[in-house]
Amino acid sequence: MGSKTNRLSPNLEMALAELEEQVDLGVKFVPMQPSLAMIQAGARAGGIDEALAAKIYRAMLEADTLDDTEVFPGMRAN
Protein backbone atom coordinates (compact mmCIF):
# COMPACT_ATOMS: atom_id res chain seq x y z
CA MET A 1 0.00 0.00 0.00
CA GLY A 2 1.34 3.40 -0.97
CA SER A 3 1.09 6.29 1.39
CA LYS A 4 -0.78 9.39 0.30
CA THR A 5 0.53 12.80 1.16
CA ASN A 6 -1.49 15.96 1.39
CA ARG A 7 1.03 17.88 -0.70
CA LEU A 8 -0.40 20.51 -3.02
CA SER A 9 0.60 20.67 -6.65
CA PRO A 10 3.18 23.34 -7.52
CA ASN A 11 0.60 25.20 -9.64
CA LEU A 12 -1.91 25.26 -6.79
CA GLU A 13 0.79 26.44 -4.37
CA MET A 14 1.68 29.29 -6.76
CA ALA A 15 -1.97 30.28 -7.15
CA LEU A 16 -2.53 30.29 -3.40
CA ALA A 17 0.62 32.37 -2.87
CA GLU A 18 -0.63 34.91 -5.42
CA LEU A 19 -4.02 35.12 -3.71
CA GLU A 20 -2.31 35.59 -0.36
CA GLU A 21 -0.19 38.40 -1.81
CA GLN A 22 -3.30 40.14 -3.15
CA VAL A 23 -4.97 39.91 0.26
CA ASP A 24 -1.84 41.35 1.88
CA LEU A 25 -2.11 44.28 -0.57
CA GLY A 26 -5.67 44.93 0.61
CA VAL A 27 -7.59 43.27 -2.20
CA LYS A 28 -10.89 41.72 -1.15
CA PHE A 29 -12.65 39.01 -3.07
CA VAL A 30 -16.39 39.56 -3.23
CA PRO A 31 -19.30 37.75 -4.87
CA MET A 32 -20.42 38.85 -8.35
CA GLN A 33 -23.95 39.28 -7.01
CA PRO A 34 -24.47 40.96 -3.64
CA SER A 35 -26.31 39.11 -0.91
CA LEU A 36 -29.51 40.59 0.51
CA ALA A 37 -27.58 41.64 3.63
CA MET A 38 -25.00 43.44 1.46
CA ILE A 39 -27.72 45.24 -0.49
CA GLN A 40 -29.49 46.30 2.69
CA ALA A 41 -26.25 47.55 4.27
CA GLY A 42 -25.41 49.55 1.15
CA ALA A 43 -28.90 51.04 1.01
CA ARG A 44 -28.71 52.10 4.66
CA ALA A 45 -25.21 53.54 4.28
CA GLY A 46 -26.16 55.56 1.22
CA GLY A 47 -29.69 56.49 2.23
CA ILE A 48 -30.97 54.94 -0.99
CA ASP A 49 -33.34 52.14 -1.93
CA GLU A 50 -32.17 48.54 -2.21
CA ALA A 51 -32.55 48.34 -5.99
CA LEU A 52 -30.20 51.28 -6.46
CA ALA A 53 -27.72 49.86 -3.93
CA ALA A 54 -27.62 46.57 -5.88
CA LYS A 55 -27.17 48.45 -9.16
CA ILE A 56 -24.28 50.48 -7.70
CA TYR A 57 -22.60 47.32 -6.39
CA ARG A 58 -22.72 45.67 -9.82
CA ALA A 59 -21.51 48.85 -11.54
CA MET A 60 -18.54 49.05 -9.21
CA LEU A 61 -17.56 45.46 -9.97
CA GLU A 62 -17.93 46.05 -13.70
CA ALA A 63 -15.65 49.10 -13.52
CA ASP A 64 -12.72 46.80 -12.71
CA THR A 65 -10.51 49.61 -11.40
CA LEU A 66 -7.88 47.65 -9.48
CA ASP A 67 -5.20 49.66 -11.28
CA ASP A 68 -6.55 53.00 -10.04
CA THR A 69 -4.11 54.52 -7.60
CA GLU A 70 -6.01 57.72 -6.84
CA VAL A 71 -7.97 57.67 -3.62
CA PHE A 72 -10.48 60.40 -2.85
CA PRO A 73 -9.96 62.53 0.26
CA GLY A 74 -11.39 60.87 3.34
CA MET A 75 -11.33 57.47 1.65
CA ARG A 76 -8.74 54.74 1.85
CA ALA A 77 -7.95 51.97 -0.57
CA ASN A 78 -9.00 48.54 0.66
The DSSP annotation for 36-53 comes to: HHHHHHHHHHHT--HHHH
**pTM: predicted TM-score of the whole model, two decimal places:** 0.61
- pLDDT-derived band at 63, boundaries 50, 70, 90: confident
38, 57 contact by CB (below 8 A):
yes
Q: What is the pLDDT of residue 77?
A: 55
Q: Is residue 2 part of a domain?
A: no
Cα–Cα distance for residue pair 60/63, rounded to 1 Å: 5
Pairwise CA distance, residues 60 & 54, whole Å: 10
Whether residue 19 is contained in a domain is answered as: no
- Residue 50: is it exposed, middle or buried by C-beta count within 10 angstroms (0-12/13-18/19+)? middle
Domain annotation covers residue 41: yes
Residue 9 lies in a domain: no
Q: Per the structure, how many domains does the chain have?
A: 1
| pLDDT (tens digit per residue) in 21-58 | 999 999 888 999 999 999 999 999 999 999 999 999 99
Count, residues in the chain: 78
- Residue-number span of the structural domain to which 54 is assigned: 30-66
